[in-house]
Amino acid sequence: MTVGPENDYGFEGKAAIVAGGGAAGDGIGNGRAAAMLLARAGARVLVVDRELKLAERTAEMIKAEGGTAIAHATDATVPKQCEQMVQAALDHFSRLDFLDNNIGIGSRGSVVDEPLETYRRVMQINVETMFLCSKYAIPAMIKTAKGGAIVNVSSISALRPRNLTTYTTSKGAVIALSRAMAVDHGKDGIRVNCVAPGPVYTPMVYAGGMSENARSQRAKASVLGIEGTGWDVGHAVRFLLSNHARYITGQTLVVDGGVTIQAPARDSAG
C-alpha cells in the first residue's frame, strides 16, 4: 500500500474490527466505506458481517488497493460469536485498537402500530449488538493496545423523531450507550464516540428501489442541497477513531448535510 499523508491518522500497524462491514454487490455502505478508509490509512481490518460473502467482497476491495483485511462471519446477536469475532482479530493481528459498530435495521410506526416482536428485534439488532461487540472488544483493547477507540453508528432519527418510533428509540439508546461507555472506559484510554448519519444513499437504502424523485427530495432536505453517501459516514468514523480526535470522547457527530437544522419532513429512515 502506498504510504502517504493519511498515515497522520495513526493507524499504521494497528488493527480494527468493522462490524457490519459488508454491502450488497460493489455498493458502498457506511461500514464498507469505513473499512476501506481505515485500510487506506494503514490499519489492518477484520471485516465482519452476518453474511460472509458480503464481508469477503469488502475484504477483496481492500486487498485490491494493497490493504490488509480478513473477512469474518458473525451474528452479533449471539454473545459467543461476538467473543469469537474479537478472538479472530487477535489471532490474525495480535492486537485490537479500534471498533466500528455499524450494525442496524430500520422500522416504521408508532408505539400503537409497532408489533412488540418488531420492537424487541430492532432493539436487539440496533443496540444489543453494539453492547455485545464492545463487551468483548474492550478487554482486548486494554490488554493488547493499552487503549483504543470505538465508534457506534446512530442516526439523526435519534435527534429528530419522525414516525419511526422504535428506530428512533434504538438510535437514541446508541447515543446514550456511547456516552456511558466513554465515561466508563476513559480511564482505560478508550475513547467512545457516535456518528449520526442523515439520508445517505447506501445499498441498504436503495435495495428496495428508490425513484429519482425520492432521491431528489432527500437531497433537498439538506441545506447543502446534496445527497450523502457511505463515504461521508466512513470519513467521519475514521476521523473519530484517529489520533486527530484524541481529545474527543462521548460525542455525537452529525453527518447529514444540515438536514436536522431545517424543517422539511422526509419519508425514509436516515
Q: In sequence order, which residues have a C-beta less than 8 Å from that of residue 143 and are 6 or more positions away?
A: none
Per DSSP, the three-state class of 11 is coil
Sole residue written with cell 434504538: 170
Q: Write down how long the chain is.
A: 270
141 HSE (CA, 13 A, CB side): 24
Cβ contact 226:198 at 8 Å: no
Distance CA 94, CA 175 (A): 30
Helix/strand/coil for 78? coil
Q: Is 244 helix (H, G, I), strand (E, B) or coil?
A: helix
The one catalytic residue in 9, 119, 136, 167 is: 167
Question: How far apart, in whole angstroms, are the C-alpha atoms of residue 23 and residue 43?
Answer: 20
- How many of the other CB atoms lie within 10 Å of CB of 101? 32
Catalytic residue check, 206: no
Q: Which residues are marked as active site?
A: 167
